[in-house]
Structure 1
Amino acid sequence: MDEIDLKSILGLIRRQLWLIFSTIATILVVTLIFTYSLTPRYTAESLVFVDTSTKNLLNSGSTLANPNADNFRVESEVAILNSDSVLLNVVRDNDLVSDSEFGIKVSMKDRILSLLRIPLPAPPTGEQALAKVLNSFKSSVKVSREGLTYLIGVGVTSTDPAKAAKLANSLSEVYIKEQLNAKVQSTLTNRDTIQKQVEAADAAIVASESEFDSYITKNIERLEKQSNAVGLTNLKAELLKINNDRLAELGRVNTLQASLQAQDFSALVSELSSQALAELQSQREDLARRIASTTSDSPEAINLRAELAKVDTSLASAATQEVNTLQQTVSGYAQQADDVRQKIRTTVLQSNLPTEVLTKIFSIQKSSEIAREQYQTLLSRQKELDSQASLQLPDSRVVSAALVPTSPSFPNNKVILGLSLLVAIGLGVGLAVLREYFIGGFISENQIEAVLKVPLSAIAPRQTTGDEHHKLANPTSSLADLMVTAPLSLFSESVRRLRLTLDQQERKRTVPKSHDPDEGAIIMVSSALPNEGKSTMALSLARAYALTGKRTLLIDCDLRKPSVNKQLNLEPNHDFIDYLRQDRNSATLTSLIMRDPLSNLTVLLGGRRSDIATDELVMSEKMGRILSSARKHFDYVILDTPPVEPVVDGLYLARHADMIVFVIKWASTPQSSAKRAVAALKENKSPDAGIVTLLNQQDRAKMSGNYSYSGYYTE
C-alpha cells in the first residue's frame, strides 16, 4: 500500500488555495442568500399519553391490558391520530379550507394562464378541494411515538407560530374527542343490541304467562274436578273482575289524559267529580265572564287574564294529580291480578292432580321463571350500559399542550450552514484535485512530476525582451536574445539549468551500438499546443550550447509554421520544404544553412509556411540522412518541432531524438493535453531517449524562491 504523501497534499492545497477559498466563499454566500430568502416555518408539538388499562367508573379497580399487546396498541393509536378521519375533523373545526396557508389558492400557473388569456382548467369540486386541503395539512403534521414509551408526539408545522400551536392542540383534542365518541358509540351499540334481547325476553314472559293463564282458564273446571280443589272457580271470577275493573280504569285514564292535553277542564271536572276541581272551574268561568265584559287592552283585563292563567295552572296541576292517582289505582289492579293469578297457581300446584297435568303446569311455570331470570339479567345489563355510556372516559390524555414556538424549525440555519460548509470544503478540495491533475494548467514542479511522471528540468520566468527604446529600435527582437544581451538574467539562468539537466541525462544515457560515440546528440524541443514558447526555448537552448563553444545546429522542423527565421531576423534564400520535396530547382543543403548573428550558432531555417501535409517529409529518408549527417558534424543538434497535439510531425521526429525537451506554459497548458502529448512521445521515441520538461513563462510573483537569490541576477 502506497504511503500518503502529506507534503504533496499540503502542496496541492497551497497551490490551489485560492480556488478552494473562492469555492467555499461562493457556496456559503449562495447558501446564506438562499437560506435567508426562505419563509421560516414553526413547529409546535403537544404530548399525548395513551393509557392501555381498561377503566370502568362503575368498578373501583382497573383491569390491566396484556403487556405484550401494549406496543401494538400504542402504534395503532399513532395510526389513528394520523388518519384522514381525524385530520378532516381538524380541517373542518378550524376552517382550513379558507386558510391562506393550507386552503385553496390560485397557483402561479393559473395566474400566468390568466394573463395570457388562456382558458383555465375546470375548478375543483368540493370533494377535490377538501382532498387538496387535507393533503396540504397532512404534509405539515408529524405524529410519532416517543421511543418505546406510551407517549405520542403530535407536531404541526406552519408559517405562523400561533397557528402551529393552535392546530397541534386542536389535533390532540379532536383525537381524544373521537376516541371518547367511539367508546360511547360502542357502548350504545351494545346497549341497543341488549335492548332487542330485553324486548324478546319480555315477550317471552308475556307469552309464558299467557300460556299458563290460558291453560288454567281452559281447564279450570276439569282441574277443579280432578284435584277436588275448592275455590278455583271463585279465584277465576275474582281475576276476571279485577281485569275488567283494570281495563275500565285504564280507559278512563286515557280519556282524562286526552282531556288534560286538550285543556278541556269542563270534561275533567265532570269526569273526576272533584270538589276542588269544581271550585277552580267555577272561578275560571267567573274570570272568563269578567274578561269578556272589559276592554281587551285595559289594565283590568290584563290582571284578569293573569289570574285566569294562574287558575288554569292550578286546574292542570290538580287534574294531573287526580290522573296520577287513577294511574296508581290501575297499577294496583295489575298487582291484585298478579296476586290472584299466583293464588290460582298455588292452589292448582297444591292440589292432587294427575302426573301429566302437574308436568304440563310445571313446564309452563318453569319456562316463565327462566324468561323472568333472563329478562332481569338483560335488563340489569342494559341499565349498566346506559350508565357506562354517560360515564365513559378516553384512554388518552394530553400531558403537555403545545406552546407557541419562539424559534423556527425550518430553516435550521446552523445545520444548513454547517452542511454547506462541509459540502463547500469537499467541493473545493475536489475542484482543486480536478484542476491540479486533470483540467487546469501546471503551476509547480511537484505538480508536473506527479501528473506527467517526467522530471522538471527548469522553470523559465515570464520575461520581456528589453526596455521600450530597445523594442522601438528592433521590433522583431526575440526573448532568446537575452542569452547574449542579458546573460545574467533569470531567464538565461533557467536555460542554462535546462542545459545542465540535458548534460546529466546525456551522461546517463546508454549510446546505442549503431551510433558512433563521437557523434553529436539530437535534442528535440516540443510542446503539446502552439504558442507555448517552444521555438523561443529551442533557439535559447541552441545559443546556450553555442556560447560554450559547442558545435551546435538548430533545425526549424516546424514546416507547417516556421518561426525561427523571424526571431533571428533572417530570410533564407531557399525553403527547407522544397529541399525535402526533392525539387530539382531547389538549392543544396549547404545553401540553406545560415549563421546566427549573435552567436556561433548554425541554423537550418524553414522558410515559408507549407501548404501541404508535411508528415511524409519529416519521415522521409532524406530527413534521416540530414540528421545522420548533422550528428557527425555537430556536437548538438536542436530540433524545433511542431506541437504534438495539432500535427504528427513531431512524433515521427521523436524517433531520431536522443533527448526530448517538453515545454509547458505555466498555468496555461491543459493537463489533459500535456498527458496525451507526453504519452504519445513516449510511445514514438527511441527506448534510450530521455524526456525532461520545462515550465515556461511562470509569473515572477510566484518565483519567491528564486528571488531570494535576486542579487545574482541582472536584467
Structure 2
Amino acid sequence: MTAIPGGAWNQETPEGPFSPNGKQRYGAFNQGLIEFSQIIGFFRRNLVRITIITAVLTAIALVLFSFYPFPYKATALVLVDPRERRVTLTENVLPGIGSDAAFLESIVQIVHSDGFLRPVLEDLDAKSDPIFARSVGADDRELLAAFKRRLQVNRVGATFIVEISFSSNDPEKSALYANAIAQAFVDSQTNALVSANATAASSLEERLNDLRSNLEVSEKAVASFKAENGIIGVTQDSTLLQRELITLNEQIVAAKAETEAIRSRVEKISTGAGLPSTTEQSDAAQLAELRSERGQILQNLSEFSRVYGDRHPRVTSERSKLAGIERQISLEQSRLLAIQKERLESANSTLQALTNQLNQRKQTAHRTGRAMVQLASLEREATANRQLYEEFLARFKATEKQSGLELGQARIASPALPPLKPNRPSRVLAGLVFLVLSGGCAVLYAFAREMKGAPTEKKRAPKKMSQSPFGFGRRQQKGRKFKEGRNRFSAPVGRLNETIQKMGFQEVPDRPFRAQGHARARDRDHHRVRTQTHALFDAKETSQYLKRGPLRRDVKTLQSRGAVVVVSSFEPNLDQSDVVLGIAALAGQRGLPVLLLTENQNLIDAHRTAPGSFGFPKAHALSIVDPGEIATNHFRNRRSILEVIEGFSVSNTARDTCMIIDAPPVRNQGQVQRLSEFADLFVVVEEEFEAVSINGDVLSGISSEVEEKLRWVTL
C-alpha cells in the first residue's frame, strides 16, 4: 500500500475544491530538501569570513605559484601522411591509413608503452642522465615510469599531426629527448612497412610450397584415373572413345547403304527388270552384249518374217539363233545373281560386325561416362589448385621485388628546439582557478563550522519575542541583520519554524478563533481525545520507563534527526498524553528539537503558559502544533486531521527535528497502514485490561513492514 499525501482517509471527509472528482491531490507539505532562504542566510552570516579566507588562500597560492620552478617543455611535430604511396601498380602490403583516425590514435598510444620506450632509453643511455638519477635502480621500471611522467604524446585535434613533448629542467635535454622519441616513432612506422613486406613474402613462400604440393597431388590423381579407366583425350573436349563411336556410326551408315544397293541389284537381276547400275558394268558387260545380239536377232526375225514369211529358212535360222541367245542370257543372269548374292551376304556380315562393335563401344562409353563424372571433379580440383598456385606465385614475385621500395608514411614535420622559457601557465588563469578553489574551501569551512555548532559570540537573546503560530519563539529583527549568538540548536528550531511558515500557513492569533456552528467545531470531540485537567506526570520519569522498557531498542531512532513517531490507540477515550510527553523527553535528551502534533488542549495550554513545566532542559527544544486548528482555520475543514498529520510527516523527512504525532484513535487497518507509511515508529497505547480481540480486528491484514514498526506501551 502506497499512501498519497493529501488523499482522502474516509468517506466522511468532503473532497472540496482541492480535489475535484477525487482526482486532484493536495501535496503542499513536501517542500524538498533544499531551502534557498537558508542558503542565502548562510552566505549572509558568513560573507566576511568566506571573503577573508578566499583572499588569503588565493594570495598564498599565487605566491607559491610565482616561486614554483616549472620545467622546460620541448615539442616535436610528426606528420603521419594518410595518402598511400605506390612505386609500382601493385598494391602495398600495408596501405595508407586514409581516414582511419582510430588507427592513428592506436599508434599514438603505443608510444607510451614500455616496449617502445625501453630501446629508446637504452640508445640514449638515460640511466646516466642526472635527471633520472633518483629513478635508476636494478629494475628499469622506475626509470620508465619517471620518463613517462615527463613525456606527452597527443594527436593534435582532428589532424594527422602527432605532438611529442618532453618536460625537463634542462631545455637542451627536453629537445634531445623529444626529437629522439619523434625519430623513433618515424622509424617504427617505416620498419613496420619493411617488416610487413618481409613477413608477407615469407608467408607467401611457405604457402606456395603447400600449394605446389597440392597441385602435384591433384594432377597425378587425374592422370592415374584416366589410365585406370582407359580415358585418352584427343582434344580438350573429346576423347578417343568418342571419336571411335563417331567413326563406327559413319561406317554402319555406309554399310547399310551398300547392302541396300546390292539387295536392289539382286532383285533386278532376279526379275530381269533391267541391267545393273553403271557401278557394276564390268560384271554385266557380257550380259549386255548378249542382250544387244538378242535385239539384233529379234529385229532380223521380224524383217525376215515380213519379207519371206514364217516358213522361210532364213526365218527358221534366225529363230534358232534367238533360242541360243536366250539360253546364254539366262546363264549369264544366273551367274550375275550368284555374284550379287555373295556380295549381299558380305555386306550383311560387315554391317553386323560394325553393329556389334558399336554396341561394345557404347557399353564402354557408359562405363567411361560414370568415370568422367569423377574425372571432372578431379580436374576441377586440379584446375582450382593450379589457378590458386599461379595467383600466389605472381603475388610472391611482386612482393619480393617490392621489398626494397617502401616509402614511410610518417616524417618529422617540425623538430623540437630548446625552449627559451619554462612552461608556466597564465597567471590570470591560475589566479581564477585559485580563486574558485579558495572560495570552495572557504564555503566548506564555514559550513563545517556551522554544522559543528561552535559559537562565535554569546549574547543574551532579547526579551521581546513575537508569538509564532505554532509555539516557536521568533526574534524581532533589529538593525541590518541578526547577530550570531544562538546556541547549538537555535538554528534548527528556526529552520523548522520557517519550514512550517512555507507550507502555506499564515499567522493566526495566539487564541485561534473557533467557528461557531461549524461541522468541525461540532464534531471536535469525535476526533480529539477527551482528557481531564490533572497534574501532568513527570516527563523524565515516563521517559526512563520507556527507555528501559518498551522502547529500549528504539532510543537511537528517536534521537535521530528527521525521525517521525506516531502515537495512537484503539480506544477512543484513552489518555495517551503521558506516553507522548515521555517519548518527547526521551527524544530531546541530547538537545534535539522536538515537534509535537497534538489536539490535547491541556498540553497546548500548559506549553503556552508555562513552557518549562514539562521538565525539558531547554524550553525552546519543544514545539507544539495543533493539527485541528490548522484543519479548521487554514483549510476550512476541507482536510481531515489525519491528512494534516500526514502532510507534516512527509515534510519532516531529512529535517532537523524529531516529530511526535499524538494521533487520534485509529479505527481500521487502512488508517494504521497509511500512518505507518511515513513513520519510523508506530506506538500503540493500551490499557492492561484491553481486550486482545479489539487489536486483532484493527490490525488484521497489515503488511510485514508495518508490523515491524509497531510498538506496544501498556498504561
TM-score interval, smaller chain: 0.3 to 0.5
Q: Which has the greater radius of gyration?
A: 2
Q: TM-score of the superposition, structure 2-length normalised?
A: 0.33
